[in-house]
Amino acid sequence: MKHIYKIFIAIALVTGLWSCENETDLMILEPQEAAFAIITPENGSSTILNKDTPNNTALTFTWEKVSYGTPTIVTYTVQFAASNTEFAAPIDITTSTSTHASISVAELNAKALELGLTPDVEGTIDVRIKSTVGTTLSEPKLSTPITIALTPYRGVFPKIDLFLVGPGTAAGWSVTSNNMPIYRDTKETAKFYYTGYFNKDGFKLIEQIGFWAPAYGTNGAKVQYRATESDPDPGVFPTTASGYYSFEINLEELTYKIEPYTGPMTTYATIGLTGSVLTGDDTGWNTEVPLVKSDFDAHIWKVTQTLKAGKMKFKANNSWDVSWGDNGGDIIVEAGKYEIWFNDLDGRYMFIATP
């Protein structure tokens, strides 16, 4: 009987050893008990982000290596969170199998704004590293978090349209008819210009025809933004008497300037557009589409036209004696249907995509 029992034990041991040798996926992990530390940046460090160097490295994160008690690949994830939220809604920034990672100025700026930091004002965010193993990212361990200070800049300003409304404009207080657009800078989307005729008593700006918000007006010498109709109504941009004015506004800096226009005021019988945008080839330069002159301001012109991808210019009186382009060159246009506005006082133009 004892002999049989010994044989049974031997078989069990051999079977067990064979099983262990073939169970290649079996892994016993022993995660460390204490949290690991972030080495750089230091807790409380401060960084000012520079919008002129968006591709430069803003911060390099380094941290202690985590041991799981057996050789295995460890994945590390850098996480951000709004300060004092205990990482209730962490944002994953980047992952690495090494113990360091970098983030560019532009990416860090975007994440800082996403977490609620105010442009040009120092604020703080919390940072931690999460380590995991395996394809299922199991056995997570978290580093001791740190808090860093950041001063972000305003991101790329979205491309919006702005339309005139108010007693000084052709529309009066209507937001559904005769709302002329002002002219966006061709390179800086936060800047707009308008040179033209105004009645007295001023004007405001709306972003969408038919809606009173978003809107822009004044609060003293600064621009006031009205995000919704429940927000305070801003004052008007002032036009104390009827006449021609030059107006500039910067939506990023919330500044404006308005002053009487004293430049040349040549009156043209016709304004037309011409170019390859009309035919898709160079024969379009032999064709001209006339624009319609505004009844409110004889220097503002408009036409709705479907254009092909190509080049174009505006020309006066069916002649090349006076023409306008982009800084003297051709205007490059993408294919589409546009409401096209042109101002012959300053040569500015506006293309508003339309169905």
Q: Are strands 146-151 and 46-48 parallel, antiparallel or unpaired?
A: parallel
Q: What are phi and psi of 342, to 5 degrees?
A: -140, 140
Domain membership flag for residue 51: yes
**Phi and psi based region of residue 243 (left: phi greater than 0; alpha: psi -120 to 50; beta: remaining):** left
Dihedral sign, CA of 50, 56, 62, 68?
positive
Residues 97 and 130 grouped into a single domain: yes
Q: Do 146 and 127 meet the contact criterion of CB atoms below 8 Å apart?
A: yes
Statement to judge: residues 144 and 44 lie in one domain: yes
Q: What is the pLDDT of residues 55-73, one digit of tens each?
A: 999 999 999 999 888 888 8
Residue 353's Cα: distance from chain center in Å? Answer: 19
The rounded distance, in Å, linking the Cα atoms of 143 and 299 is: 65
Q: How many domains does the chain have?
A: 3
State whether 186 and 224 are in the same domain.
Answer: yes
Say if residue 43 is in the same domain as residue 140.
Answer: yes
At which of 260, 295, 318 does a domain end?
260
| 190 in any annotated domain | yes
Q: Which residue has the tokens 């809107």?
A: 215
Alpha-carbon distances of 140 from 8, 76, 85, 106, 130, rounded to whole Å = 42, 9, 20, 29, 6
Sorted by sequence, the CB contacts under 8 Å of residue 160 that are 6+ apart come out as: 189, 207, 251
Decide if 79 is inside a domain. Answer: yes
Q: What is the pLDDT of residue 34?
A: 53
Running along the chain, 355 residues long, what does each successive block of 10 average in pLDDT? 42 41 42 75 96 93 90 92 94 92 92 89 96 83 96 86 98 98 93 98 97 95 91 95 98 93 97 97 96 98 98 97 91 96 97 95
Q: Give residue-wise pLDDT tens across range 266-284.
A: 999 999 999 999 999 999 9
Report in angstroms the alpha-carbon separations of 100 from 33, 78, 87. 22, 9, 21
Q: Which of 151, 173, 191 is a domain's end point?
A: 151
Q: d(Cα 301, Cα 341) in Å, to the nearest integer?
A: 6
Domain ranges, residue 290: 271-353
The CA distances from residue 113 to 44, 93, 109, 153, 324, in Å, are 19, 14, 6, 9, 40
Residue 58 forms part of a structural domain? yes
Residue 1 lies in a domain: no
Of 48, 54, 58, 47, nearest in space to 148 by CA: 47
Please state whether the predicted TM-score (pTM) of the whole model is above 0.75: no
Cis peptide before 71 (omega within 30 of 0): no
Q: Return the pLDDT at 164.
A: 98
Cα–Cα distance for residue pair 122/285, rounded to 1 Å: 54
In a domain, 266, yes or no: no
* 88 occurs within a structural domain: yes
**Token digits of residue 328:** 């003297």
Instruction: List CB contacts of 319: < 8 A, sequence separation 6 or more.
Output: none
Q: Counting every residue, how long is the chain?
A: 355
Residue 69's pLDDT is what?
80
The CATH code of the domain that includes 57 is 2.60.40.10
> CA neighbours within 13 Å on the CB side: how many for 208?
9
- Is residue 3 one of the residues assigned to a domain? no
Q: Do residue 139 and residue 176 come from a single domain?
A: no
**Amino acid (1-letter code) at residue 107:** E
My answer on whether 44 and 132 are in the same domain is: yes
Close Cβ partners of 79 (under 8 Å, ≥ 6 residues apart):
87, 90, 91, 92, 93, 127, 128, 129, 130
pLDDT at 156: 77
Same domain? For 122 and 176 the reply is no
Identify the domain boundary among 151, 172, 197: 151
CATH number at residue 290: 2.60.40.3620
Q: What is the DSSP letter of 20?
A: H
